[in-house]
Each structure stands twice: as C-alpha cells, then as structure tokens.
Amino acid sequence: MVSIMATDNYSVKKFTVKSKNVKIIGHRGSSKRAPENTISSILCAAEDKADYAELDVQETKDGVVILMHDKNLKRVAKVDKNTSEVLYKDIKKIDLGSIYSEKFKGEKIPTLDEVIKASSGKINLDIEIKNYKDDTELVKKVVQIIKNNNFENKCLVCSFDYSALVKVKKLNPRIRTGYITYLSKKDNLNLQYVDYYSIYYPKVNKGIVEKLHRNNKKVHVWTVDNIDDAKKLIQIGVDDIITDYPNVLENI
C-alpha cells in the first residue's frame, strides 16, 4: 500500500466532496507522531483536527482498564508478558515513550479514565474493547468509566465481539456502539445493538454503504492511509474514516 504521507503531489483543490461531511478518526491517536495509545498520541490527534481518536482498552491482572492494543506487551513495551498477567503498579513503571523516541521520554501506558479526562473538551474518543478473554467485567468497567466522566455523548464504543456491544447497550443505551468486521458473507448488516459498522476498507463498496444506511447504520472504514483510497470512500458515502495520518486526511 502507498502511504498517504508518501503522496506529496496531490491537489486538494481538484477534489470536491460530494457526500456528507466525513469525520476523521485518528488510529490509536495520531500514532505516526507519538507512541500509539498514549495521552500524547490522543492529544496529537486533536492537534491534527481529527474528530475522534481511536484507542484500544483491556484489563491488567488486577483489573485496571488501560490503553493497549496487543494481547502481549512485547511489541510496544518490550515486555514479553500478556497485559492480563501484569499488575498495574508494574505497568506504570514502563517508560513507553523512550522506547518510541527520546522526545517522549517518560510517557506511560495510561488508564482509560486518565485519557478521558485529558481529552475532554479537546477530542472525542472511539473506544475499542479488546475482549481477549470474553470478560464481562471489562465491559462493565468501560461503561462505568464513561458514565463517571459524563462522556456518553463524546465517545463511541466498538468491538469485534458483538456480545460485548450487546452488554454495553443494555448497561447504558446512550452509548453509541460499533461492530468491527472484515465483512464476510455471513455478517448480519442489521444487528440490533449496533449504531455503526467499522469495516476493513477494501471490503466496502457503494452497495454496502447504501444497504447499511437503509438499515440506519453508519459506516466507518479502517485503516485508510492512501489518499486515492480515501477519496473513493468519501465519494461512495462512508461516514467516518480511520487513518494513521489524520492531519493529511483533514486537508481533503
């Protein structure tokens, strides 16, 4: 795939958006500018004028909801243990920023509560529940943290696990939910407890968008890092685009 950042000669003026205003979602924040799933990355997405910052949450061994995409900490934190096997007091000791760049020395793995407080008034959040162990308690905690911060109207909650979304809606119907999918033929495009579908972008076409819109579902696409792809998706009417380069996508 050609990166959005590698496409330097595109003309913004020649491209006219024919669909409704498309919202931009920064993938794991603005993860090409700062360590993914950190407060810095979320705030960079706000600086880049993204409408939302996408992030991933899971639990530590002692049940603290933190930001982390992978089941294992090795890739981003150089610790070869699963997140669920590590206590929060030990998670807090990890200097995630220095691993990424000296510029971010001291950057920690944040809790969901910390991120919501840091982003409030700056950017909305697209919270993906990484339900690696079908954990009802994780869903309950995410919903409670959102409620405690009066953040229902400033966030989305999504997951590959539809049962987790059902639990979210039943606990708090005010929270908008999204089903993440690679879009196979067996997918139901009118799930009751879903407000939007977040779809791997090569699987999306105009017919899919129109069908979901008829079902009163919004269409998100991920992860779009090529300008030509983004333009095509905008023209066929998607509602939100998840990208690693929200600053570039904002220009078109």
User: Which of these, 241, 190, 248, lies nearest to 27 by C-alpha position?
Assistant: 241
Res. 15: pLDDT tops 50 = no
The residue type found at 213 is: H
pLDDT band for position 20 (cuts 50, 70, 90): low
Torsion-angle region of residue 78: left (phi > 0), alpha (psi -120 to 50) or beta? left
Tokens of 138: 């994780």
**Total tally of structural domains belonging to the chain:** 1
CATH number of the domain bearing residue 65: 3.20.20.190
| Domain span at 57 | 4-250
pLDDT per residue over 75-131, tens digit each? 999 999 999 999 999 999 999 999 999 999 999 999 999 999 999 999 999 999 998
Q: 């950190």: which residue's tokens?
A: 38
In angstroms, the CA 227 to CA 252 distance is 8
pLDDT at 4: 54
* Burial class of residue 164, CB neighbours in 10 A (0-12, 13-18, 19+): buried
- The residues annotated with a catalytic role in the active site are 27, 69
